[in-house]
Amino acid sequence: MCAVRRSTPEAPVTRPTSRDVAQAAGVSQATVSLVLGDKWRGRVSQRTAGLVRDAAQELGYRPNLAARNLRLGRTRTALLVVPALTNEFFARVYTGAARVAAEHDFGVVLYLWPEGVGPARDPFASARAALDGVIASSMAAGALGAIRGADLPLVMLDSDPAGTEAAALVNLDMADGMRQVTDHLLGLGHRRFVHLASAVESWTFEVRARALAGALGKASGTVVRTAPAPLTVDGGRTAAEAALSAPGPRPTAVICDDDILAAGACKAARRLGLRIPDDLSVTGFDDLALATAVEPELTTVRLPAEEVGERGMSALLAVLDGRPPQTGDLPVELIPRASTAPPPRAH
């Protein structure tokens, strides 16, 4: 009869606890919780916070996120609602939001609402249970109706301060951007303009239109034709071609609401036999990669898209922690390139 050799069961591996970290750092467990929960600023010195982080790293301590989230009633998940990631601007917004979220052990779930699809259903069985808050672009505001009932903190991006119930706003100084464009073109000597305006109904484009009208209205001898266009290259080309072919003196500059429309305006100019910038100046807005892909390269307004995402996520975290979010519009910058020059002498 063979004897069965019984192996001695291995002792269970013990993982370091917050108490172990506190003892190693010479602080209380409450201090460990504040530091590792990223709530130490103003309560714990920077030196002490460093000691706690070093002790946690040396011990290989990892907080039990599931237990902490259950205790706090948090899922540590934010929903980012944007029209589409095919637009480079919103892809960069996501990059910025995800970067800040990762620094605070948060996840970002993307919810796309392409124009024309219609109001969307709640992307989760229960938004209240699945999310801590929502960050949304005003261009995708139509999707918010499905989750408003969840009573979640809402941070709006590029949205009308007077027309939202959001807990926080993150806006770009779009009006100043359009003023920079008009100042640039007026300074070059242009007086006859086409405004290639996005046909998308959005507060951000309304702001640009009002700023353009206000700036050009103060300059004597200016004439502006507004040409609404779908937010596509072909839409911009069609609208620009019609505006530039209309009866009367031809405009010498096309001011576009977006780089995509500006690319369409450049195609229209070529079809009409116009040289850029010798016969026609063209400006864009956003400073997408497209702006340096066209020839000549596009004068446009640079928007800090990643910073928009960072500020949006930071604002949501502040609201969740009961802190006032950062305020003030983000600055934008005109980037002059080769698509603008003084108008032809004959004009």
Q: Determine the pLDDT at residue 7.
A: 45
* pLDDT, averaged in runs of 10, over the chain (347 residues): 44 69 87 78 86 87 53 72 82 95 90 54 51 82 58 87 84 97 97 96 92 94 96 96 96 97 97 97 96 96 97 94 92 98 82
Strand partners, 168: 155
Amino acid type, 248: G
Sign of CA dihedral 243, 245, 251, 256: positive
Q: Determine the pLDDT at residue 57.
A: 86
Local structure of 211: helix, strand or coil: helix
Q: Determine the pLDDT at residue 1.
A: 40
Query: Judging by beta carbons within 10 Å of its beta carbon (0-12, 13-18, 19+), is residue 323 exposed, middle or buried?
Result: middle
Q: Determine the pLDDT at residue 44.
A: 84
Q: Determine the pLDDT at residue 70.
A: 40
Buried b (16+ CB within 10 A) or exposed e, 288-317: bebbeebebebbbbbbbbbbbbbbbbbbbb
Local structure of 116: helix, strand or coil: coil
3-state secondary structure 269-328: HHHCCCCCCCCCEEECCECCCHHHHCCCCCEEEECCHHHHHHHHHHHHHHHHCCCCCCCC
Which are the contacts of 128, defined by CB distance < 8 A and separation ≥ 6?
150, 151, 152
Model confidence, pTM: 0.75
Residues 307, 158: Cα–Cα separation, whole Å: 12
The per-residue DSSP string of 42-80 comes to: TTS-HHHHHHHHHHHHHHT----HHHHHHHHT---EEEE
Q: Determine the pLDDT at residue 28.
A: 86
Q: Determine the pLDDT at residue 71.
A: 42
CB 109 within 8 A of CB 78: yes
- What are the structural domains, with CATH classification, of the chain? 18-63 (1.10.260), 74-171+305-328 (3.40.50.2300), 174-303 (3.40.50.2300)
Amino acid type, 196: L
Q: Determine the pLDDT at residue 137.
A: 85
Q: Determine the pLDDT at residue 115.
A: 53
Residues 250, 259: Cα–Cα separation, whole Å: 22
